[in-house]
Amino acid sequence: MNDTALELSAPPALAKNGVRVVALGGLGEVGRNMTVVEYEGRLLIIDCGVLFPEDHPGVDLILPDFEYIKDRLDDIEAIVLTHGHEDHIGAVPYLLRMKSDIPLIGSTLTLALIEAKLKEHRIRPYTMAVKEGQREQIGPFDCEFVAVNHSIPDALAVFVRTGGGTILGTGDFKMDQLPLDGRITDLRAFARLGEEGVDLFLTDSTNAEVPGFTTPEKDITPAIERVFERAERRIIVACFSSHVHRVQQVLDAAELYGRKVAMVGRSMVRNMTIAADLGYLKVPDNVLVDVKKLDQLEDDKVVLICTGSQGEPMAALARMANRDHRIDVGPGDTILMASSLIPGNENAVYGLINGLMRLGANVVHKGNAMVHVSGHASAGELLYCYNIVKPKNVMPIHGEWRHLVANGKLAAATGVPAEQVLLAENGVVVDLVDGKAAITGAVPVGYVYVDGSLVGTTDEDMLKDRRVLRDEGFITITVVRNASTGEIVAGPDIRTRGFAEGDEVFERIRPKIEQALADARGKGITDTHQLQQVIRRTVGGFVGGKLRRRPMIIPIVLNA
């Protein structure tokens, strides 16, 4: 298999009649999915999603890096959205801020979800709704859309025909043979496209390490019903705000057991209202109630559906665990965490589970009950697809590096030549020329952080400072000196935050600072910045050697 272990240079000009594929996100990570396809000087974007941060203090979202396309916005024919999950549509508003008339193409539900999001950003998009079996000419790209099954309705794969070759992108998919909505992945279409010829197969890698086949959604209905049967007081269900299938199962169980359901959280209410209005969510009569009316109901008649299954600190469930929500979780309450763990979120999720159990709640999650199944194809399903499609070249997408490697090995096992299985990272350029795909270079890509209302201004140095402040605390040392003589007239005044040690510990460093400044004066050092560096080195050596800490050290030298 070809990989990107070596440093790559900028790619050459695209060969005549060649097709170029560059992922700006989604490779080596679970989220931020965005792939750019180029042919005859025109661009087609497939998905444009966000990544939810784990160890990025103060950061709300992480976007794909648009630098590669920012000077070519007029070359973009459209953005094709495979489905409505945040990791595939969440960055669209930030791209449309740069050029608002880029057309959006997707299924009815997907477009409804992104339109609601764009409304909050005051953007009115150009959209084209498509459905499975539909074929559209989008500039030089002939796109055919194929039904695939996922954990959200109306998901689509896209087959892109160009004069330089064909590309089949699965989006996120699985092969549930008993889906709740009856809409299965169209393997007949996959086979037909395989007969026509798939030059490059972009395949979902998220579950490539998992053997066998992903459990059908219907198989977890009994487990959810058991939770309802045994719950003593309220049931609080946490899931993704776009997981229509899971919400449907909860609504059906609530009707069966005579409970009322309230939606908690703006995104949950918005998305499920859209799904219900479009007919994707079937709401039983007299089951839904406003959250404000919960106080009028007995606890054993209440179900809440909220966000926060990934331990997001500002989501409803985390706020409940922190006693920072109007819903007061306590003994007898049952928390049903109806989502799988996104890799990287484990610590946050288990911390949330511990916090809820500390409050006396019974927490039911995938680790102790079968209350969730994945929305992604496992190894058996991927093998099935490779054998049906018989692609000439394969580029695993959507997953951490271990997922991409596992997916690549599956492709090779079915007969795809090892040299035609391309393991790429974000920014790596893959060119398809005369039926053969090859890595030809790389373009710079990085993380783009959304930090409150700011986009792209937070950088790694700032995040490093935030982590130091969070993990190690900080020390400020203020010294006032005579501007004429250089003598210290006040200080050093030492203040600390984030230290368990008492102030008396830092009294031991005061003479060392005074001596270091005196030595600097003797050497003729008068520059304020240089004196601050002297203080920083002196204090850093002390806390590093004596306290085994590496705090942020802020020296201040004032002239009197």
pLDDT of residue 5: 41
pLDDT on residue 60: 62
Angstrom distance (rounded) from CA 246 to CA 217: 9
| Burial (Cβ within 10 Å: 0-12, 13-18, ≥19) of residue 67 | middle
**The pLDDT value given to residue 355:** 83
- E strand segments, 284-339: 302-306, 334-337
The one-letter code for the residue type at 517 is L
In this structure, of 75-79, 290-294, 366-370, 463-467, the range with the lowest mean pLDDT score is 463-467
Q: How many CB atoms lie under 10 A from the CB of residue 433?
A: 18
Does the pLDDT value for residue 3 go beyond 60?
A: no
Share of the chain above pLDDT 90, in %: 51
The encoded tokens of residue 130 equal 């498509």
Query: Which has more pLDDT, 51 or 85?
Result: 85
Tokens of 426: 């974000």
Residue entry with tokens 């055919």: 144
Is 58 in contact with 458 (CB distance < 8 Å)? yes
Mean of all residue pLDDT scores within the chain: 85
Distance of alpha carbon 135 from alpha carbon 400, whole angstroms? 32
Nearest-angstrom CA–CA distance, 405 and 383: 14
Q: Token pair for residue 52? A: 């939810």
d(CA 357, CA 335): 9
**Distance from C-alpha of 401 to C-alpha of 405, rounded to nearest angstrom:** 6
Cβ–Cβ contacts within 10 Å for residue 13, how many? 8
User: Average pLDDT in the 229-256 region?
Assistant: 90
- State how beta strands 141-147 and 156-162 pair: antiparallel
Lowest-pLDDT choice from 132-136, 250-254, 336-340, 413-417:
336-340
- Gap between the Cα atoms of 32 and 86, Å rounded: 9
β-pair type (552-559, 474-481): parallel
DSSP class of 265: S
Domains of the chain: 17-210+372-449 (3.60.15.10), 216-362 (3.40.50.10710), 458-557 (3.10.20.580)
**The pTM is what?**
0.80
**Exposure letters 198-222 (e unless 16+ CB within 10 A, then b):** bbbbbbbbbbbbbeebbebbeebee
Give the model's pLDDT for residue 57: 46
Q: Tell me, what's the pLDDT at 536?
A: 77
Q: Which amino acid appears at position 180 of this protein?
A: L
375 marked among binding-site residues: yes
What does the pLDDT read at residue 545? Answer: 65
Distance of CA 226 to the CA centre of its chain: 31
471 pLDDT band, cuts 50/70/90, is low
Residue 158 belongs to what H/E stretch?
A: strand 156-162
Q: What is the DSSP letter of 553?
A: E
C-alpha span between 468 and 555 (Å, rounded): 16
Tell me the C-alpha to C-alpha distance, in Å, between residue 113 and each of 81, 83, 279, 288, 427: 11, 9, 14, 21, 28
Looking from the CA of 485 toward its CB, the CA atoms found within 13 Å total: 7
Question: What pLDDT does residue 478 have?
Answer: 81
What percentage of residues in the chain have a pLDDT greater than 70?
84
pLDDT in tens, 347-399: 777 778 888 888 888 888 777 777 778 889 999 999 999 999 999 999 999 99
478-501: per-residue pLDDT in tens?
878 776 666 676 767 777 766 655
* Confidence grade of residue 6 (pLDDT, cut at 50, 70, 90): very low
- pLDDT of residue 14 exceeding 90, the answer is yes
Report pLDDT digits (tens) over 260-286. Answer: 999 988 888 999 999 999 999 999 998
pLDDT given at position 558? 72
Known binder of ligand: residue 372?
Answer: yes
> What span, in angstroms and rounded, lies between the C-alpha atoms of 407 and 383?
9
Catalytic residue annotation: 204, 376
Structure-token pair, residue 372: 């969730």
Residue 91 in contact with residue 79, Cβ under 8 Å? Answer: no
Contact 235, 227 (CB under 8 A): yes
Cα–Cα distance between 306 and 267 in angstroms, integer?
Answer: 9
Q: Can you give 480-525 as a three-state secondary structure string? A: EECCCCCCEEEEEEEEEECCCCCHHHHHCCHHHHHHHHHHHHHCCC
Q: How confident is the model at residue 149 (pLDDT cuts 50, 70, 90)?
A: very high
Q: Is 279 annotated as a binding residue?
A: no
373 is in an annotated binding site: yes
Comparing 135-144, 375-384, 542-551, the range with the smallest average pLDDT is: 542-551
Residue 528 amino acid letter: T
- Please report the beta strands in 13-149, taking only residues with DSSP state E, as ranges in sequence order: 19-25, 34-39, 42-46, 61-63, 76-80, 104-106, 127-129, 135-138, 141-147
Band of pLDDT at residue 556, cut at 50, 70 and 90: confident
β-pairing, 474-481 with 454-455? unpaired
| Mean pLDDT of the 15-32 span | 93
Is 100 known to sit in a ligand binding site?
A: no
